[in-house]
Amino acid sequence: MFDTLNPCTIPPEDEALRPHIRALAAETVARLPAETRARSWSGLDIEFSHRLGREGFLGLTLPKEYGGAGRGPFARFVVVEELLAVGAPVAAHWIADRQSAPLILNYGTEAQRKLFLPKIASGEIFFCIGMSEPNSGSDLASVRTRAEKISTGWVLNGQKIWTTNALHADYMIALIRTSGTVNERQAGLSQLLVPLKAKGVTVRPITDLTGASEFAEVFFDNVKLDEDALVGKEGQGWDQATAELAFERSGPERIYSSLVLIDTWVQHLRRVGRIIGPAAQLAGEFTGKLMVLRAMSLAVTGQLAAGESPVIEASLIKDLGTSYEQEVPALIAEDIGSHPDEEVSVEFYRTLNFMSRIAPSFSLRGGTREILRGIIARGLGLR
């Protein structure tokens, strides 16, 4: 089982992107403290997202006719890896570049592709994903937000919650009930493109336990949408959203969220000269596991490049990767707390504390651990 997944290397022409993006990332993070860089793909800098677009680092996998670079998933892997490694602030464009663009390319109409893809590739417009609702988290098929068909298009009513980036996004791609009742579950769900500036849309930020407001509640009160707000086929929203989640779950961002913390800790160890013994063992554990998990993410990237849809493998990687990301702050805390007489910088302590607080969210966003394990079990033929 899963024996088609093998190590693969990054093609040289994609590897060639590395020096340029590396320099750009280094320049951008030079003045950011570790605790800000530790926000990883939650770190926001709209100007930087514009710049990545201008310099051709967004929409790498989109065809050239839609403003993309016409390259494969490995090109995107290299760019994303370099950005995440140093904690460059990528949140503004992240969702658009990762999943909204591929979704529109795959299911959108020609008009939608022409309208949205070039602007995503140039970093001009940002997206968010509206799946979760107050009563529909893991049980996504129970969404209640409804769109009624009218002569000119749709009228939308309801509420989404925990919507990352809603505060800065121009559009939401929302999973909406377009026919039937909640009892019909998956059937009757569609994906609609909602302009967040539209009349009747209210975005209310939610403060998280670090004091930041990266997600929001989004309310729809008789929001009128044109007919072409529909993405893909009416009633196919569930299948489309599921395919979208495969993109969402397999990328290096499901492994790299704690890298800035690891590097801050490594610098601390070098500074205080504690570079042998248990600390060295732990540093070895972190890097050895990272090596293998990265190989796994690359292998799935290889499958995506070959046009496959590795849904179960993506779930496996997300569970493994987020477990790794979550154990890092706990193990570093143990190491630091076990040397109470060692001087720890305020920046390091703040970074560690931020990571301890936020790490539980790694296995919630994009589908919980229990749900992923259910998908893996189904892949094993158990359900």
Ligand X SMILES: Cc1cc2nc3c(=O)[nH]c(=O)nc-3n(C[C@H](O)[C@H](O)[C@H](O)COP(=O)(O)OP(=O)(O)OC[C@H]3O[C@@H](n4cnc5c(N)ncnc54)[C@H](O)[C@@H]3O)c2cc1C
User: What residue ranges bind another protein (CB under 8 A)?
Assistant: 132, 135-139, 142, 161-162, 206-211, 215, 278, 326, 330, 333-344, 346, 349-350, 353-354, 356-358, 360-361, 363-365, 368-370, 373
Q: Which of 212, 125, 223 is nearest to 164 (CA)?
A: 212
Contact status: 138 vs ligand X (CB under 6 A)? yes
Spatial separation of the C-alpha atoms in residues 350 and 264, rounded to whole Å: 11
- Give the one entry of ligand X, another protein, none that residue 309 binds, where binding means its C-beta sits below a cut-off of 5 to 8 angstroms depending on kind: none
Residue among 208 and 263 whose Cβ is closer to another protein: 208
User: 4 or 138, CB closer to ligand X?
Assistant: 138
Closest to another protein by CB, 111 or 209: 209
> Would you say 190 or 303 has its CB closer to ligand X?
190
> Angle 30-35-37 (CA atoms, 0-180°, nearest 5)?
45
Q: List b or e across 20-55, with b for residues whose CB sees 16 or more CB atoms inside 10 angstroms.
A: ebbebbeebbeebebbbbbbbbbbbbeebbbebbee
Interacting span for ligand X (CB under 6 A) from 7-15, 150-158, 233-241, 361-369: 361-369
Given phi > 0 = left and psi -120 to 50 = alpha, else beta, which region is 297? alpha
108 counts as binding ligand X under rule CB under 6 A: no
What x-and-dash track marks residues 215-254 binding ligand X by CB under 6 A? Answer: x---------------------------------------
3-state secondary structure of 231: strand
SS3 for 114-183 is HHHHHHHHCCCCCEEEECCECCECCCHHHCCCEEEEECCEEEEEEEEEEEECCCCCCEEEEEEECCCCHH
Cα Rg of the chain (Å, integer)? 21
Q: Which residues are catalytic?
A: 248
With CB cut-offs between 5 and 8 Å by kind, which of another protein, ligand X, none does residue 311 bind?
A: none
Cβ contact 196:166 at 8 Å:
yes
3-state secondary structure of 309: coil
Among 36, 49, 164, 191, binds ligand X (CB under 6 A): 164
317 binds, among ligand X, another protein, none (CB under 5 to 8 A by kind): none
In this structure, the number of other CB atoms found within 10 A of the CB of residue 124 comes to 17
Whole-number minimum distance, CB 128 to ligand X, in Å?
A: 6
Name which position in 22, 364, 376, 379 contacts ligand X (CB under 6 A): 364
Can you tell me whether residue 3 is helix, strand or coil? Answer: coil
We find the least distance from the C-beta atom of residue 49 to ligand X, in angstroms, to be 17
164, interface contact from ligand X, another protein, none, CB < 5-8 Å by kind: ligand X
Residue ranges that bind ligand X, judged by CB under 6 A: 128-132, 137-138, 162-164, 215, 361, 364-365, 367-368, 370-371
